[in-house]
Structure 1
């Protein structure tokens, strides 16, 4: 396919299969699919999403807030089997396996939210294990909502939110069907569990989509209320419309059993509670 060529313009969007030459971009939220087949020659990027690239894991973009840089990974739409097969060791009753389609791509933070980013936004640090590059913990679901609302208000075009449980598992699996994104089992060389505290984000190998510590380090809040899966909803499920407990996923440093960190494992807590084993990872709200 021949590419359309655009020269010397000031633009607010990127279109697929286009070669840009000497253009200046002022970008807000960009659909990652728009970067398909693009080329950039001597172009500059401004706005809150001002740094991007491609690597072996896919497309990434980054924003910087008060000198704290956060990389977001583009998670392409797709279909996967959510939950666990009946043959999976330590499978739980609430993990009914069913097909789910994520119809819209989304940007997901490559790491859990760090303490330095939390402090830049909230001007405080509630964490027990204090270190700038460690994930923030001792934050409730409600606290995380306040953080994202504040950052969204301060940065034009930013629409951070928690991933849905389906988005989280889809991203954690990164195309795998095994109990963990690393295979049928994990070790403490791959995941921070059986530990004494959190560790810096990006301390361990990322998954196939460039996401770090989806297993272990801290549990991660999701947007959904905890309930049985509604397997009749197969496209972009968002969970129950109400409840008393919010979902969290992924496991933490304090667990002694690896099976609690399986891609399919679900747990939850009331949204006002906070623990030193729970943090969060945000995403950008999907394009409508």
Structure 2
């Protein structure tokens, strides 16, 4: 019996007028512009400046194809997701410097550089941080991306296991590089976090969507059934939350764009976040 054809996203959607922010620059921006990655703005968060990238609405195919190396069953079936609203996403995971400027302390294990990502923060800890950001940046809603928004931003138009292709090596991300993925080369396992801009960004200007620290999402992981979705959200309330992207101590297959799992409100030295403004 022949398998059904893979789902296909409508890359002509949305109409041109819906692609752009409703206001540009937003009132919270201290600097802004348009470069090869798209629209960006800088916002003062406490003391440090955080750059955000505009993630425009669009459609993409979520999940992994059956032939992807080391995929897990819960990553399928693939399905088309339409995101109807754009959002500003931090181009990096939240650094220790940004966290400490807002919260007044640094819970991280790896404190050798304030540009390392903050870790050892629970999902509830992050909610406290977001509410404090809103007090310092009036007129915005600070949030985590949903799991669907996270994968859309991570893929940045790609359909491969990683945003750059179907293989991985230690020059591209921070992970358990003594282990190989699908025949990819092995190398140094750093066994620590590194600064949030240590590797090249993806096609939308986002750094380290793969590796370094797992990133909390706003919602819990969904069960996929192959049906197309519009602005999907997983479980909320008293439920596990999705964590995406892999980390410095994760096996390379865990860094794939489609890899998803749920965690309860733990604090761990491999777990951080990046946030959005809306």
* Pair 1:135 & 2:129 matched: no
The answer to whether structure 1 residue 264 and structure 2 residue 244 are counterparts is: no
Moved more, 154-163 or 142-151: 154-163
**How many angstroms apart in 1 are the aligned matches of 2:21 and 2:140?**
15
Q: Is the partner of 1:79 in helix, strand or coil?
A: strand
Q: Distance in 1 between matches of 2:84 and 2:148?
A: 11
Partner of 2:168: 186
Q: CA deviation at 1:230?
A: 5.8
Q: How does 1:45-84 map to 2 (within 5 A)?
A: 47-84=27-64
Paired residues of 2:244 and 2:261 also in contact (CA < 8 A)? yes
Deviations 1:246-279 (A, max 9, x none): 1100000112x211100000022102x1100000
Shift of 1:224: 0.9
| 8 Å contact from structure 1 (residues 221, 249) kept in 2 | yes
Q: What SS does structure 2 have at the residue aligned with 1:207? A: coil
Residues 225 and 242 in structure 1, CA contact (< 8 A), matched pair in contact too? no
Q: 1:124 to 1:184 in 2, by over 3 A?
A: same
Would you say 1:245 and 2:234 are equivalent positions? no
Matched, 1:277 2:270: yes
Asked if the contact 2:91/2:206 (under 8 Å) is kept, the reply is yes
TM-score normalized by the length of structure 2 = 0.84
Change (3 A) 1:227 1:46: closer
Segment of structure 1 superposing worse, 59-68 or 102-111:
59-68
- Measure the CA separation in 2 of the matches of 1:118 and 1:49: 19
2:21 alignment partner, one of 26, 32, 51: 32
Q: Which has the higher contact order (CA 8 A, sep 6+)?
A: 2
User: Structure 1 residues 227, 65: CA separation in 2 closer, same or farther (over 3 Å shift)?
Assistant: closer
Structure 2 unaligned blocks of 5 or more: 1-15, 177-189
Please report how far the alpha carbon of residue 189 of structure 1 lies from its aligned counterpart in structure 2 after TM superposition. 0.2
Q: 2:148 aligns with which of 166, 182, 189?
A: 166
- Maintained 8 Å contact 1:141/1:221: yes
| 8 Å contact from structure 2 (residues 145, 275) kept in 1 | yes
The answer for the alignment partner of 2:215 in structure 1 is 220
Contact 1:225–1:243 (8 Å) recurs in 2: no
- 4+ long deviations beyond 4 Å: 230-233
Structure 1 CA distance for aligned equivalents of residues 57 and 239 of structure 2: 30
Between the aligned partners of 2:79 and 2:228, the Cα distance in structure 1 is: 10
Paired residue for 1:7? none
- Which has a greater percent of strand? 1
1:153 aligns with 2:135: yes
Number of aligned residue pairs: 246
TM-superposed CA distance for 1:241, in Å, is 4.2
| Local SS of the residue matching 1:59 | strand
In 1: Cα distance, 2:26 partner to 2:228 partner? 39
TM-score normalized by the length of structure 1 = 0.81
**Is there any run of 5+ residues in structure 1 with no aligned partner, and where?**
1-15, 18-30, 36-44
Q: 1:250 to 1:103 in 2, by over 3 A?
A: same
Aligned to 2:9: none
* Residue 102 (str. 1) matches residue 101 (str. 2): no
Equivalent position of 2:102 in the other structure: 121
